[in-house]
Amino acid sequence: MRILVTGGAGYIGSVIVARLLTRGHEVVVYDDLSRGHRAAVPAGADIVRGDVRDESRLREALAGAGAVVHMAALAEVGESVRQPERYLDVNVNGTAAVIAAARAAGVDRLVFSSTAAVYGEPERVPIDEDDPLSPANPYGATKLAAERRLERARDAGTLAFTALRYFNACGADGDQGEDHDPESHLIPLALRAARDDTALRVFGDDYPTADGTCVRDYVHVADLAEAHIAALEALPAVQGAFNLGTGSGDSVRQVLDTVEAVTALPLRREQAGRRAGDPPALVASNRRAKERIGWRPRRTLEDAVSDAWTWMRSHPLGYATD
């Protein structure tokens, strides 16, 4: 099948592209390269540079395609608070453009990159898909609004879709790794701090968790990619929203201890106060994904840290070294 991957030059998108190629699919990457990296796109994929809001260019890129994996979005929580209108434009209007272009091109299957941020601060953990949807920031709100747009297209009979709600993506997969500017994710920040012998700030040590630090559900990027393929292959028979997480959480302190164990380097830690809006724990129930699309995460936190460390050592300046 010919598959269009919007945002396919990004961190998770590039891993999905690589895995689709190994399964024999023809892949077209659609990306404006504002935050993705051309060097992250695996050999064998075509690249179309374009804005996700450009319906006409999307329609051209979709020629001959059988499905879309829609990854293109702005995805920084703090930035979304500062620039909510921009996030609304790119994430929601961009999704509307993808829907319209797919309809015009006769493409009726789509897998959507969503987020656990649609739940906001949970009433309980683990979180399942029937829990209240109450985003606590503009990023989560725009992803939920995009899901609603897709639901309307599905209800109109024009599109079969699945939304995959990621928890904390991490790790690396072969030549594809994590290279953001600025970086906001804990594992690469901790690996850099250990490598460079700098202090890492730890926000909060008085949460109601086992060791006082926040707990998150860290899911390996390769497992995420496999979930997209499973969801794509299950369409149109199986649709809906699915959490992607391991079903168990690790605290910030556990992550940092794992970084020290994997790198065999000391990690200096600088204690800071809590950040506003950080829930004590975010952990997924992945039961529905297991039952309906046959997906199970197979990799551990140690695997993720080890793979990320291997990639970082081979790309000391990120993709700029390629």
In order of their start, the domains of the chain are: 2-169+219-244 (3.40.50.720), 186-216+248-321 (3.90.25.10)
At residue 43, φ and ψ (nearest 5 deg) are -60, 140
55-66 residue pLDDT tens:
999 999 999 999
| Cis? peptide before 42, omega within 30° of 0 | no
What confidence tens digit (pLDDT) does each residue in 216-226 have? 999 999 999 99
pLDDT band, very low/low/confident/very high, at 71 (cuts 50, 70, 90): very high
Distance CA 44, CA 48 (A): 13
Catalytic hit among 11, 30, 119, 139: 139
CB distance 210 to 281 below 8 Å: no
Q: pLDDT digit string (tens) for 28-55?
A: 999 999 999 999 999 999 999 999 999 9
Q: How confident is the model at residue 320 (pLDDT cuts 50, 70, 90)?
A: confident
- Rounded to two decimals, the pTM is 0.96
- C-alpha dihedral (229, 230, 232, 238), degrees to nearest 10: -170
17-31, 39-53, 185-199, 308-322, range with the lowest pLDDT: 308-322
Examine the residue annotation and report whether 139 is marked as an active-site residue of this protein.
yes
Tens of pLDDT, residue by residue over 87-143, are: 999 999 999 999 999 999 999 999 999 999 999 999 899 999 999 999 999 999 999
* Residue 272: CA count within 13 A, CB half-sphere: 11
d(CA 202, CA 212): 11
